[in-house]
Amino acid sequence: MISIQQNLSELEKSHKLRTMALECYVAAIANMAHYAVDLDAAITAPHRLHLSNLGAELAEASPEALTESRSTLRGLLRDYRDRASKYLCGLRNQLSSTAQALREMVDGLAQCDTDHHGKTGAALVRLREIAGSPEGVPVRAPMEAAVSAVEQSLEQMRRQHRFTIAQMQTEIRLLHNRIDSLEAAASTDEASQMSNRRFLAEYLRATFAEGACFLILKMRGLAEARVRFGVGIADEVLATFGRRLRNTVPKEGVIGRWGEQDFLAIVPAAAKPSDGAIIKQFAGHLSMPYACMIEGKVVRVPMVVTAECMAFPPGTPADQIHSRVTEAFQS
């Protein structure tokens, strides 16, 4: 009898845990929909609608439907990421074109200002010479007054012209700053503040094999830390890992996040750690426990990082480098 009661109690606890986990899952999907970055109504509105519908369907879903929902959720997030990236690239190109058009217009205005000022100045000098000559005595006074009035008007026009050009140059600088920020946002992983996979893929396709080597870094333990301690602690560990990695690789190297727990460092060939012991020491430094503050207590979160160095002979096609690096992360 006692055994049956205990089993019933355990079943009740399991049911409560499952219900709580389902509620958290549905709430997480609702939060994804609510906090999706507003880019364009045609992009964000359908994304939010799909997420909201998915959350509503999962509220009373079967275990099989919950399992299938993982791939559905990944597909929705991947589609939104691709659409957002395309939108940002288009906006960046549009801003770049606008900035270039403004710059050309400013250059044209400056050139016209110089040409017209020179011609007008020469004409006024000629008028003053005529007014000062014996032939100009009858009209000297009104001519000098007219020349002075024209010079004053020209000076006011020049000041207004310079002010307009200065305003346009300010707008161009602001546009370029906006372009830079969009480029940074499009090429940076938000959680780790490293270059994202999209940027790394473009960089790999433009890399010369003889000029660089590639460090394949795989972190294990981040997903477990997120489940055990929460997203905030996982992000803190990720930020600390990023600082350690930046301090470990040469300054001229490029580092980025390839996947959830996969990272890539591209360093100059002259600085590559060819010795296996150096690579092991490199991975050991990144695998040191990560200290985090949880409810006023310091908790050391264990991480395991493995490192592999890849180098390619001169003349290796960039597409082949990209394919080999991708295979290395998948293995």
Q: How confident is the model over 198-236, as pLDDT tens digits? A: 888 877 776 665 667 888 899 888 888 888 888 888 888
Predicted pLDDT of residue 106: 64
How far is residue 267's CA from residue 194's CA, in Å, rounded to a whole number?
Answer: 15
**What does each C-alpha distance from 229 to 18, 20, 224, 225, 237 come to in angstroms?**
19, 17, 8, 6, 11
CB 115 within 8 A of CB 128: no
Is residue 2 over pLDDT 60? no
Residue carrying structure tokens 């020469």: 122
* Contacting residues for 225 by C-beta, under 8 A, at least 6 apart: 233, 234, 237, 301, 303
The H or E element spanning position 266 is: strand 262-268
What is d(CA 263, CA 303) in angstroms, rounded to the nearest whole number?
Answer: 14
Asked if 286 and 241 touch (Cβ cutoff 8 Å), the reply is yes
30 near 52, Cβ under 8 Å? yes
Backbone phi, psi, residue 204, to 5°: -65, -40
What is the tens place of the pLDDT at every residue in 101-160? 767 766 666 665 555 566 666 666 666 666 666 666 666 677 667 667 777 776 776 666
Question: What is the reported pLDDT for 130?
Answer: 66
**Rounded average pLDDT over 243-253:** 82
Query: What's the whole-number mean pLDDT along residues 299-307?
Result: 86
**pLDDT at residue 272, as a whole number:** 60
pTM summary value? 0.46
Mean pLDDT of 76-97: 78
**Residue 220, φ and ψ in degrees, nearest 5:** -125, 130
Mean confidence (pLDDT) of the chain = 75
Q: What is the pLDDT of residue 302?
A: 86
Task: Check pLDDT > 60 for residue 271.
Answer: no
Mean pLDDT along residues 286-290 = 84
